[in-house]
Amino acid sequence: MKFLKPIIFTVIFTFLLGSCKSISTIPVPKPSSYSVTATAKKIPLTEEESKFWGHSDLATDSIPGMSLEKAYDFLQGKKGVEVVVGVVDSGTDLLHEDLKDVAWVNLKEIPSNGIDDDKNGYVDDINGWNFLGTIYKEHLEYQRIVKDPSIADEETVKEATKFYDEKVEAAKANEKRYGQMLKMVTNADDALAKHFDKNDYSKDEVIELVTEDTALKQNIEVAKQMYGFGLSSLAQAKQELSKLVKNATSMLSGEDLKNEYRSVLGDDPNTMENKSYGDAATGHSIKDEAHGTHVSGIIGASRNNDIGMNGVANNVKIMAVRAVPDGDEYDKDVALGLRYAVDNGAKVINTSFGKGFSPKKEWVYEAILYAASKDVLIVNAAGNDGKNMDVEKTFPNDSRDLVTEISDNVLTVGAMSANYDENLPASFSNYGKINVDVFAPGVQIYSTTPEGEYAKFSGTSMAAPSTAGVAALIRSYYPKLSASQVKHILMNSGTMINLDVIKPGSRSRETPTGEKVPFAELSVSGRVVNAYNALKMADYMVNGKNK
């Protein structure tokens, strides 16, 4: 799972160191002509606006959100059906105050009786299934391939080995560079703690601090940059940078390859003989499950309960499928996780994870095709490497050759920010005129985290569930529409953005301003998801007229 933390440190590093894909075999909606001319907000968003900017409306708020409140105004008087959304991720805290009422419950299973009552192969799976057991840390896929070349084909082994060797060389530089960054942040933290005479000084105190001391000014600037990159404190920055230094040191020593994380699970990830490994523990509060909990909240946190936040969709139940560790997910876990969600009633599945190598990718392709056969839509995060997906592979995907889709039930989503200007696409987001279908809010998104908490995370991991929530709304109020039709509604009803923007990943020390391209060139649709337009288009397709 790489769709959250790397965003922060790629940006920090830069700062401190200076279509064949839209085919369909059934009737789908034609693109709308909807576009908006709006003026970017010139002042910083208020705290309330910053929490829920993704729900805003570009025309009325000058914030390029998904027009969610307009969507709910449109739905007034209409009745929807319950939709199950499978969240294949790091796990979801279904005890959270804002998620407990939207947890999927397997009514065919008797809790804690040790019997597979519904005979689906999983014992006591009341809220979903945990394919990882007690595993939270894992190797990256290229490390597993280098460690055991027999798990992949010759070409993949060659590519993974080359990549590993490059990583070792990079680690030599990173050990020093991240060490320098850690020292800079540590010095700033020490200076600010001394100034405030306390270690737990707040972000607001730093932002409001005015001084003529040149050294302190520099330390304040370091802190402000950290806050701007999504870090809540310099203490958090030190903690994460320390991990990066440790990781670089571990790679250079070879220690990172010695762990056998999978052994505690008692499963061989390179064969499909055993499919019922893991356990039913999917609804507990564990900090390591923050990613999946955040994703779940974006989709369906209880609406209008005067607690925390509103998810995008009502009428949803969240099915927790734990298959993504801190590291790279196994193809087997992903494939079985998708099949579990499909077999147990999910109509939308969110996949906010990804990796660069996939030795058992055919298992995942087969699972995607299985989902298509059962009319299930998969909403997939594009990835956070700032790269062109038409050239560089990211897994999972829906195309073996990066040109032709294997099915028409996967929607790949890039991330956008609240900036209605050249900075609209998130600087970290992957893009692709063939392989990214649409963009959605994915920067500083406020949502649920374990133990009853809330936080802002950034990533295409957040853009995918923003979109999955809208997909669930469509499937709830217009259940006659197929997964393929819903996919194309989301693509073709979105707001067309007529802006030249900075291409993600193009900023560097050599080109600090980045490369300008039309926003329309970053995805198949050239659009950003708009819930109001999507529901209007769905209504027209079903009823023949907008109401």
- For residue 42, the model assigns a pLDDT of 58
The CA distance from 262 to 268, in Å, is 8
Instruction: For residue 362, give every residue at least 6 positions away whose Cβ sits within 8 Å of its Cβ, in sequence order, or none.
Output: none
pLDDT of residue 537 exceeding 90 = yes
User: How does residue 41 score in pLDDT terms, banded at 50, 70 and 90?
Assistant: low
User: How does residue 23 score in pLDDT terms, banded at 50, 70 and 90?
Assistant: very low
pLDDT of residue 3 exceeding 80 = no
DSSP annotation string for 370-420 = HHHHTT-EEEEE--SS--BTTTS--BS-S-SSSSS-S-S-EEEEEEE-S--
The CA distance from 396 to 442, in Å, is 19
Q: Do residues 495 and 411 touch, judged by C-beta distance below 8 A? A: no
The CA distance from 454 to 204, in Å, is 18
* DSSP code for 408: S
- For residue 40, the model assigns a pLDDT of 65
Give 508 or 413, the one with higher predicted confidence: 413
- For residue 364, the model assigns a pLDDT of 98
Query: Quick one: what percent of the chain has pLDDT higher than 70?
Result: 92
Say whether domain 5-42+49-139+259-543 belongs to CATH 3.40.50.200. Answer: yes
User: How does residue 547 score in pLDDT terms, banded at 50, 70 and 90?
Assistant: very low
**Bridge partners of residue 415, in order along the sequence:** 440
Three-state DSSP class for residue 462: helix
The CA distance from 68 to 322, in Å, is 29
- For residue 228, the model assigns a pLDDT of 80
Which stretch of 238-247, 324-333, 519-528, 534-543 has the lowest confidence by average pLDDT? 238-247
- pLDDT tens digit string along 468-511? 999 999 999 999 999 999 999 999 999 999 999 999 999 988 88
What average pLDDT does range 364-389 have in this prediction?
A: 98
What average pLDDT does range 289-305 have in this prediction?
A: 97
User: How does residue 35 score in pLDDT terms, banded at 50, 70 and 90?
Assistant: low
* Structure tokens belonging to residue 70: 């307009």
- For residue 5, the model assigns a pLDDT of 42
The CA distance from 286 to 293, in Å, is 10
- For residue 138, the model assigns a pLDDT of 95
What average pLDDT does range 526-547 have in this prediction?
A: 91
- pLDDT tens digit string along 199-245? 999 999 999 999 999 999 999 999 998 888 778 899 999 998 999 99
Give 508 or 188, the one with higher predicted confidence: 188
What average pLDDT does range 36-54 have in this prediction?
A: 79
- For residue 311, the model assigns a pLDDT of 98
Which stretch of 312-326, 374-388, 412-426, 501-515 has the lowest confidence by average pLDDT? 501-515
Number of Cβ atoms within 10 Å of the Cβ of 418: 23
Q: Where are the domains of the chain?
A: 5-42+49-139+259-543, 157-257
pLDDT of residue 11 exceeding 70 = no
pLDDT of residue 19 exceeding 50 = no
DSSP annotation string for 176-206 = HHHHHHHHHHHHHHHHHHHHHTSS---HHHH
pLDDT of residue 15 exceeding 50 = no
Averaged pLDDT of the chain: 91
**Bridge partners of residue 449, in order along the sequence:** 453
pLDDT of residue 24 exceeding 50 = no
The CA distance from 193 to 130, in Å, is 42
- For residue 8, the model assigns a pLDDT of 42
Q: Do residues 467 and 438 touch, judged by C-beta distance below 8 A? A: yes
Q: Say what the pTM is.
A: 0.86
